[in-house]
Amino acid sequence: MANKKSLLSKKVSKRTQSIHGEHTTSAWDYSHHIIPPLTASTTFRLESLQRGAEGFNQFGNPKNETPILIYDRLDEPTTLMLEEQLKIMESAECAVSFGSGMGAISTTILSFVKQGQKVISHKTLYGCTYSLLTSWMPKFGVETELCNLNDTDLDEAFKDKSVRLVYCESVCNPNLEIIDLERVVKAIAKANKTRKDDNKILFAVDNTFATPWGLRPIEWGVDIVIQSLTKNMSGFGTDMGGAVMTAKKYEATLKLGRKDFGAIINPFSAWHIMVYGLSTQSLRFEKQQENAMAIAKFLAKSKKVEKIFYPGLESFPEKKLAKKYLKTPEGKFAPGLMIAFTLKGDMKKTAKFVDDIAKNSYSITLAVSLGLNKTLIEVPGYMTHSAYPKDKLDNCGIDPKLIRLSVGLESIDDLIGDLEEALGRV
């Protein structure tokens, strides 16, 4: 291929040179970088029309192992590197990255479910996922049946041939309920025996709360795993991202969906998440979990606390499921970094406590999002889960008074000190 340098023997104006430069360097070799390079090119030079045509023909072809880079929205070097790392962490054959967790969720649903088909979903979901399934998808002829996946008669539910997707969060946002993944996987396998290939039931699980350091649903037979990379994977609250980890046979469909829906991650965020987030996550997760365990024990003893939900406590309602599923890759119990609790008294008391934290706490911040190095507190029923109609909250496992705490990396004495002071004032 003629490179820009060889073409420079031609007489070219400074204006044109200021745009094109040389644009090649023999040093551009990824294998020599200790830290992968951060590239920023929305489009890629193609040496011939034939090569361009090949790239478009091959894109989204499951047999294509070496993508021809054409345009960022199709494939991009930094996101390809991020995806390689994500697939390893979730024990998957492949990963497809997105611009946000919601980009990953909506692309998954739109890519695999069509008009007339149905989603069966656990009823406790992140607020925007609830909104997507109950407000948006019906506009495209896709209905969602909300149920309790842990006690619904699944054999009966799957007799309905329109069921195409089962959806849940492995550890539910916000009440930390744990789904018995194996039970669902077994029921789906049974139902799929009599279904045609293009109508097999798929199981998609949002693993954001657990993180891959606490649970890897693919190892339990789940088809599709979703992460909001914005949370603990990224870890510092600087970047948004999402990812789907799945079998190689679903990769092409997801990439074609991502291309047309435009839900791509930008390479800068992909680079931050890969270089800073993923490489420090196991350490952050361990420390955050240690802090969460200490806070949960403290809250469990407080006379002001009515109920507390933390998978590490013996009082946790799904303790058996927690012990079964929440494990590090080495097999150590991993109850995680999220806590949910309610205070005795009415909503006014909850608001007083949360406002007190917002005003007077140094180590705890009133804010949405989770998994960050900083400890965050919020009231899901009025904030992240406000898409749920108020009269449906309780029925969907979300106590309107529930307080959600995402535990960070601060000194445990400061965190407990701030909680103790605020509790003392309500």
Ligand X SMILES: Cc1ncc(COP(=O)(O)O)c(C=O)c1O
Give me the least distance between CB of 369 and ligand X, in Å please. Answer: 6
The residue from 102, 142, 184, 339 that contacts ligand X (CB under 6 A) is 102
Q: Report the relative pairing of strands 224-228 and 242-246 from DSSP bridges.
A: antiparallel
Task: Tell me the three state secondary structure of residue 305.
Answer: strand
Contacts of 7 (CB under 8 A, 6+ apart): none
CA distance 259 to 255: 6
Give me the least distance between CB of 126 and ligand X, in Å please. Answer: 4
* Token pair listed for 118: 């149905």
Give me the least distance between CB of 258 and ligand X, in Å please. Answer: 14
Closest residue to ligand X in the complex (CB): 101
Give me the least distance between CB of 179 and ligand X, in Å please. Answer: 12
Interface positions, 206-235, toward ligand X (CB under 6 A): 206, 208-209, 228, 230
Q: Does 55 bind ligand X (CB under 6 A)?
A: no
Q: Does 291 bind ligand X (CB under 6 A)?
A: no
Number of residues that bind ligand X (CB under 6 A): 13
Give me the least distance between CB of 102 and ligand X, in Å please. Answer: 4
C-alpha 425, offset from chain centre: 36
Contacts of 149 (CB under 8 A, 6+ apart): 120, 121, 122, 166, 168, 179, 180, 184
Give me the least distance between CB of 228 and ligand X, in Å please. Answer: 3
CB count, 10 Å around CB of 217?
A: 28
Whichever of 64 and 369 has its CB closer to ligand X, that residue is 369
Contacts of 424 (CB under 8 A, 6+ apart): none
Q: Does 269 bind ligand X (CB under 6 A)?
A: no
Interface positions, 116-135, toward ligand X (CB under 6 A): 126
Which residue in 308, 328, 332, 325 sits closest to 168, CA to CA? 325
C-alpha 284, offset from chain centre: 17
The residue from 55, 77, 101, 277 that contacts ligand X (CB under 6 A) is 101
* Token pair listed for 384: 């992240």
Q: Does 270 bind ligand X (CB under 6 A)?
A: no
Give me the least distance between CB of 380 and ligand X, in Å please. Answer: 9
The residue from 79, 106, 107, 173 that contacts ligand X (CB under 6 A) is 173
Whichever of 169 and 356 has its CB closer to ligand X, that residue is 169
Whichever of 173 and 281 has its CB closer to ligand X, that residue is 173
Give me the least distance between CB of 242 and ligand X, in Å please. Answer: 5
Task: Tell me the three state secondary structure of residue 154.
Answer: helix
> Would you give the binding string for ligand X spanning residues 293-312, x where CB under 6 A is met?
--------------------
**String of b and e for 98-113 (b: at least 16 CB within 10 Å)?**
bbbbbbbbbbbbbbbb
Q: What torsion, rounded to 10 degrees, do the Cα atoms 114, 201, 219, 340 define?
A: 70
Position 116, amino acid: G
CA distance 235 to 352: 29
Q: For ligand X, which stretch binds (CB under 6 A), given 204-212, 285-293, 385-393, 416-424?
A: 204-212
Q: Does 90 bind ligand X (CB under 6 A)?
A: no
Q: Does 380 bind ligand X (CB under 6 A)?
A: no
Q: What are phi and psi of 245, to 5 degrees?
A: -110, 130
Size of the chain in residues: 426
Give me the least distance between CB of 186 and ligand X, in Å please. Answer: 24
Which residue in 156, 173, 174 sits closest to 120, CA to CA? 156
Name the packing angle between helices 412-424 and 347-360 (round to 10°): 130
Give me the least distance between CB of 364 and ligand X, in Å please. Answer: 18
Q: Does 240 bind ligand X (CB under 6 A)?
A: yes
CA distance 422 to 409: 20
The residue from 72, 169, 239, 378 that contacts ligand X (CB under 6 A) is 169
Which parts of this chain interact with ligand X (CB under 6 A)?
A: 100-102, 126, 169, 173, 206, 208-209, 228, 230, 240, 242
